[in-house]
Amino acid sequence: MLVLVAPGQGAQAPGFLTPWLELPGVADRLKAWSDVVGLDLVHYGTEAGAEEIRDTAVAQPLLVAAGLLSAQALLDGVSDGAIGAVAGHSVGELTAAATAGVLSDKDALAIVRKRGLAMAEAAAVTETGMSAVLGGDPDAVVAHLEKLGLTPANINGSGQIVAAGTAEQLAALAADKPEKARVIALKVAGAFHTHHMAPAVSALEAAVKDVTVGEPRVRVVSNKDGQVVTDGRQFVERLVGQVGNPVRWDQCMETFKELGATALIEVCPGGTLTGLAKRGMPGVRTLALKTPADLDAARELIAEHGTAE
């Protein structure tokens, strides 16, 4: 069984969309989506520097657009039943929702633009950020973070927990690391998936209120608790609430294993989630879609591990 996953914020890099523009129709699609989000996605995906695309309000629409472009290129002519499940990490849940047919591409992009703006506005209230904690006993790490007033915002499995909180709290973490753990500051502009994002949750609730929601064509796994969600509206409600709640990617990977996953493909800009899967899902084949040059190998993986239903 094959799982298709979409990365979250921080996976973007300058120029990462450049090779994808060589595919027929991609430039036109990106220009149309640029009109939806009010951003020049071609510029941000090809010419913009690291600081420009680090901006939450830019990064999130750019990542969803990239995920959808690469997923559509990969799945062209592939039956829905070939993909056993889809999931996304944080903002990648919108990519997953559109890929599964829960949201249209246009609605997913309109929502992610509002999500990015709302989260950027919430992050501007207080100086906050995130740091990755690598290694250490997971329970001990969580207890240590809570002692410092930090939130374990992403519990990613494979020995990785992302802490989120104020600049002062993160500085305290850097000075007082959990036992046998390393701490790496992340280049994100806020304490995402914490109570600091409460205003963004309210804004997103309003953004999805009247959106048309479909039923999933393929199993969708939720960040909230790793559960398969079969109701489209419920999945949309979950991804809204997830802005202010921790991402449980560890539980998502456990669900993939329980479903019988034998292969995992991460859409563009792939790399982060395949890295976690290599450590957390031993024996499962993984492939990261970075450029169109990876498409043939990805299609071979689908042919080998996909199960038409």
Q: State the DSSP H helix or E strand holding residue 3, giving kind and residue range, or none if neither.
A: strand 2-6
Q: Which amino acid is it at 205?
A: E
**What's the rounded Cα separation, in Å, for the pair 141 and 110?**
37
Strand, coil or helix: 193: coil
Report the DSSP beta bridge partners of residue 152: 163
Distance of CA 130 to the CA centre of its chain: 15
> Known catalytic residue: 89?
no
Q: Is 193 a catalytic residue?
A: yes
Contacts of 309 (CB under 8 A, 6+ apart): 80, 81
Who contacts 186 (Cβ-Cβ below 8 Å, separation ≥6)?
10, 129, 130, 131, 132, 162
Q: Out of 34, 70, 90, 222, which one is annotated catalytic?
A: 90
* Cβ partners under 8 Å of residue 128, min gap 6: 164, 165, 166, 167, 190, 191, 194, 196
β-strand pairing of 263-266 with 2-6:
parallel
Q: Which one, of 258, 197, 261, lies nearest residue 226 by Cα?
A: 258
Round to whole Å and give the CA distance between 284 and 277: 8
Q: Using the structure block, give the residue that is written with the tokens 């990462």.
A: 16
Encoded tokens for 40: 């020049």
Q: Which letter does DSSP use for residue 171 in this model?
A: H
Which of 89, 144, 193, 305 is flagged as catalytic? Answer: 193
The rounded radius of gyration (Å) of the Cα atoms in the chain is 18
Active site members: 90, 193
